[in-house]
Amino acid sequence: MTSAAYGVCRSLSEPMVRQRVRIRFGKSGNLKYIGHKDLMRSLESLFRRARLPLAMSGGFHPKIRMSLPSALALGVEGFDEVLELEINESAEPVDPTTLLTNLNRCSVKGLDFYSVRQLNEQESKAKLASSTFELIVPQELRNQTGIQVSSFMSADSVIAEKPNRKHVDVRAATWQLHFAQETGLLIVEILAQNGPEAGIREILQVLGLEKELFKSIFPKRIRCRLIEEVSI
């Protein structure tokens, strides 16, 4: 029996199983200055270089079946980003270790892949529960920031205006906020929300630090926590 004939027999006798993988990666250095759409294009180019047998959408303009549960804001470094990929059903089973090695081999500076996990059929698509950011407040702003943090945490509601002029309650969205005045380290965990979402920019706005964003303050997203990983 020829290999082609064997392939036909195999496809008729064995059901094709959808393969999905969840990848944790980081975007840092100069790559923090590329937006979400540019990042998606960069990832597509990387997957092609790595010759991954990815599943494609239908229609006249097929696209790679991949998704990110949360887009990273322009200018913010990310060290725990989540990406899900769907592999072509006719491809051989994915080996996570080999795929991770291949991704890092074909990647560019500032785009690092940390882990690959194969998902089973029962696992749902990744949904973000919260994002944790950290940043260093400049020395001259730490006393005032300490006062603002205390006021913010004791409030029941704090409204901030987003760049699109929509309003959001940043206090309700803030799950945790820690500020070490001596070192200037600010860590904040922000809940994912339906509708207008609070982001690190809105947190800095209500703390009186927005003007220093990308001047002396450079936030990093250090964790993306998925709904399946925590009960909030």
- pLDDT tens digits, 123-158: 889 999 999 999 999 999 999 999 999 999 999 999
Domain termination residue (choose one: 119, 154, 188): 119
**Distance between CA atoms of 159 and 189, rounded to whole angstroms?**
17
Question: Please, which pLDDT band fits residue 1 given cuts at 50, 70 and 90?
Answer: very low
Contact 173, 191 (CB under 8 A): yes
- Cα–Cα distance for residue pair 72/43, rounded to 1 Å: 14
pTM of the entire predicted model: 0.87
At 90, the pLDDT band (50, 70, 90 cuts) reads confident
97 and 40 in one domain? yes
Give yes or no: residues 158 and 87 share one domain. no
Question: Considering all CA atoms of the chain, what is the largest pairwise distance in Å, rounded to the nearest integer?
Answer: 78
pLDDT digits (tens, 9 = 90+) for 46-79: 999 998 888 888 777 778 889 999 999 999 999 9
Q: Are residues 111 and 194 in the same domain?
A: no
Residue 160 lies in a domain: yes
- In whole angstroms, what is the distance from residue 176 CA to residue 131 CA? 10
Q: Last residue of a domain, which of 91, 119, 147?
A: 119
110 φ/ψ sector (left φ>0, alpha ψ -120 to 50, else beta): left
Structural domain including 191 reads 128-229
Let me know whether 136 and 159 are in one domain.
yes
Domain contains 10: no
Q: Say what the pLDDT of residue 231 is.
A: 57
Within 127-231, residue ranges assigned H as helices are 142-154, 170-173, 200-206
Query: Does 134 share its domain with 104?
Result: no
CATH number at residue 206: 3.30.70
Same domain, 99 and 43: yes
Task: State CA 127 to chain mean position distance.
Answer: 10
Do residue 108 and residue 138 come from a single domain? no
Is 103 domain-assigned?
Answer: yes
